[in-house]
Amino acid sequence: MLKALNPPQANWPGLSQGMLIKGSGYFVSGGHCGLDDSGEPVTSSMEEQIVAMFEGLKRTLAEAGLGFEHVARTTCFVREFSPELLRTIKEVRARYYNSDCPPASVMVQAGLYDPKLFAEIEVIAAVP
């Protein structure tokens, strides 16, 4: 019934980056942050960290045979509602989602597990 999806770059033992719920038409992701290949937060710039966050999510979606066009809902957790962070997320997000049919979205201010992180994202996607 459930199929755990963990791309090779996933660095979190004990949890799944995504779950395909067989027979339901749903895929749900775990939280994705802007991490480098060693699992550490990307600290070169805010934009590069947000790009890394979306690229990690892209890899997990691909493990399920999906892309951003399948995403129905996005929840983004941010450490603060600063104009710079909101602008950066909006600009980077536009590179990945179709502007004609963007997913329903929620943004929530939350404490993240590492103070170097700006954001974390999770999605629900439709499986064709």
3-class SS at 76? strand
**Tokens coding 76:** 């983004």
Mean pLDDT, residues 89-109: 96
Give yes or no for residue 122 having a pLDDT over 90.
yes
Residues 18-51 have pLDDT tens digits of 999 999 999 999 999 999 988 899 999 999 999 9
- The CATH number given to 2-126 is 3.30.1330.40
Domain ranges of the chain: 2-126
Mean pLDDT, residues 72-81: 97
Instruction: Please report which confidence band the pLDDT of residue 7 belongs to, taking 50, 70 and 90 as the band edges.
Output: confident
Mean pLDDT, residues 76-105: 96
* pLDDT of amino acid 9: 73
* Phi, psi (rounded to 5 degrees) for 99: -70, -20
Range name among 4-18, 51-65, 108-122 with the lowest pLDDT average: 4-18
Q: What integer best gives the mean pLDDT of the chain?
A: 94
Would you say 101 and 126 are in contact if contact means Cβ atoms under 8 Å apart? no
Compute CA 33 distance to the chain's CA centroid, rounded to the nearest angstrom: 7
* pLDDT of amino acid 13: 77
* pLDDT of amino acid 11: 66
Q: Which residue has the tokens 């929620």?
A: 106
